[in-house]
């Protein structure tokens, strides 16, 4: 490993095979915490290459516990995190709103590393039990239209990395990998990323797959549609800027989508949205993100999908999906 680290400090890059092998070595406990920390830090200092990211991705997929949900043809809404914007849990809420519109969702998530309230933190606080029981997960998708795939249960080989990531408390290339390694391997995805360069890399890699996708990055830095400024969207067919006016809305103030200061207040915002008791800006930003997933899944326009997302909250269908998921996973 010292040879690899020396090469990297000399501004060399890794091949796809070398990148894959390092993740395998980490999973097998062949690297100590200092080596892992040094390795992660290097990729905070310089941009990752397509070959490196693809090698890491292939290793994590190879090592993961798979779950087959193909018969449901679900979609995943997932962000890399790490945008340092401290928003509430928009993509997780958008997942339940999408489910409430009748779309099957396989949501992949984890505890926050660069933030205190990742999707797993909030859902766990709200009494959702995590497990990797395939029967329960399949039942959840069937009955509640949604399942939650808690990343540590499906990527046990990464147990050696988790403590180092937590101690660093910064975004690493594992943030980049999260959306790419959903253990159900869905054929539809909406992926939010924290910078434009990563959006381009994702687009390049996803072009080599059969996934129907939208990769999004807000022009002012969010890893989701923020409605504060326009959002760059990459799809298989094109790339474009999505603006608030496309939802018949006006730009909003960034302070209106700030998250809670702790897990309790973050969870309150979460339930306020599902109960239809959130502010207009909070609800609209969730529905805007859900609309991309609904549009892909139902093959309808963004504006039609936005209306369906609003209806999902108004009818309490999104809330019903959440409650049903909690009940099934007990």
Predicted confidence (pLDDT) per residue in 211-252, tens digit = 999 999 999 999 999 999 999 999 999 999 999 999 999 999
pLDDT (0 to 100) of residue 115: 62
pLDDT (0 to 100) of residue 116: 64
pLDDT, tens only, 87-137: 999 999 999 999 999 999 999 999 886 566 889 999 999 999 999 999 999
Residues 6 or more apart from 296 whose CB is under 8 A from it? 75, 188, 190, 212, 213, 214
pLDDT (0 to 100) of residue 247: 98
* Domain boundary assignment for the chain: 2-63, 70-151+183-328
pLDDT (0 to 100) of residue 89: 94
pLDDT band at 78 (very low <50, low <70, confident <90, very high): very high
Beta bridge partners of 87: 258
pLDDT (0 to 100) of residue 68: 97
Q: What percent of the chain has pLDDT over 70?
A: 99
pLDDT band at 314 (very low <50, low <70, confident <90, very high): very high
- Least confident range from 24-33, 122-131, 270-279, 310-319: namely 24-33
Which tokens go with 248?
């018949």
pLDDT at 282 over 60: yes
Contact (CB, 8 A) for 13 and 51: yes
CATH number for 2-63: choose from 1.20.970.10, 1.10.3470.10, 3.20.20.70, 3.10.129.10.
1.20.970.10
pLDDT at 170 over 90: no
pLDDT band at 83 (very low <50, low <70, confident <90, very high): confident
pLDDT (0 to 100) of residue 169: 74
Which tokens go with 285?
């930003």
pLDDT at 310 over 90: yes
User: May I ask the CATH architecture of the domain 70-151+183-328?
Assistant: 3-Layer(aba) Sandwich (3.40)
Residues 6 or more apart from 226 whose CB is under 8 A from it? 85, 87, 218, 220, 252, 254, 257, 285
Residues 6 or more apart from 281 whose CB is under 8 A from it? 227, 252, 253, 256, 257
Residues 6 or more apart from 246 whose CB is under 8 A from it? 302, 303
Q: What percent of the chain has pLDDT over 90?
A: 84
- Integer Cα distance of 302 and 294 in angstroms: 8
Rg (CA), the chain: 19
How high does pLDDT run on average in the chain? 94
Q: Which pTM was predicted?
A: 0.94
pLDDT at 145 over 80: yes
Q: Which residue has the tokens 């997960």?
A: 137
């Amino acid at each position: 490993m010292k040879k690899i680290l020396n090469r990297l400090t000399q501004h060399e890059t890794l091949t796809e095979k070398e990148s894959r092998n390092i993740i395998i070595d980490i999973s097998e406990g062949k690297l100590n915490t200092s080596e892992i920390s040094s390795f992660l830090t290097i990729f905070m200092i310089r941009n990752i290459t397509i070959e490196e990211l693809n090698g890491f991705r292939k290793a994590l997929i190879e090592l993961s516990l798979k779950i087959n949900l193909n018969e449901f043809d679900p979609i995943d809404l997932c962000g890399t995190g790490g945008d340092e914007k401290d928003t509430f849990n928009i993509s997780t809420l958008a997942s339940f709103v999408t489910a409430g519109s009748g779309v099957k969702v396989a949501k992949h998530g984890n505890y926050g590393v660069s933030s205190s309230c990742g999707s797993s933190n909030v859902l766990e606080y709200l009494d959702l039990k995590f497990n990797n029981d395939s029967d329960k997960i399949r039942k959840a998708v069937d009955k509640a239209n949604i399942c939650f795939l808690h990343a540590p249960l499906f990527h046990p080989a990464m147990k050696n990395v988790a403590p180092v990531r937590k101690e660093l408390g910064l975004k690493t290339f594992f943030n980049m990998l999260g959306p790419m390694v959903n253990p159900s391997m869905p054929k539809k995805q909406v992926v939010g990323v924290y910078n434009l360069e990563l959006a381009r890399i994702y687009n390049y890699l996803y072009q080599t797959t059969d996934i129907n996708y939208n990769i999004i990055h807000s022009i002012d830095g969010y890893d989701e549609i923020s409605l504060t400024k326009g959002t760059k969207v990459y799809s298989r067919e094109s790339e474009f800027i999505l603006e608030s006016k496309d939802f018949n809305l006006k730009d909003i103030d960034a302070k209106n989508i700030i998250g809670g200061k702790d897990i309790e207040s973050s969870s309150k915002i979460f339930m306020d949205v599902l109960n239809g008791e959130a502010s207009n800006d909070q609800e609209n930003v969730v529905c805007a993100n859900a609309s991309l997933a609904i549009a892909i899944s139902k093959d309808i326009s963004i504006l039609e999908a936005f209306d369906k997302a609003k209806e999902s909250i108004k009818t309490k269908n999104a809330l019903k999906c959440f409650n049903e998921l909690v009940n099934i996973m007990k």
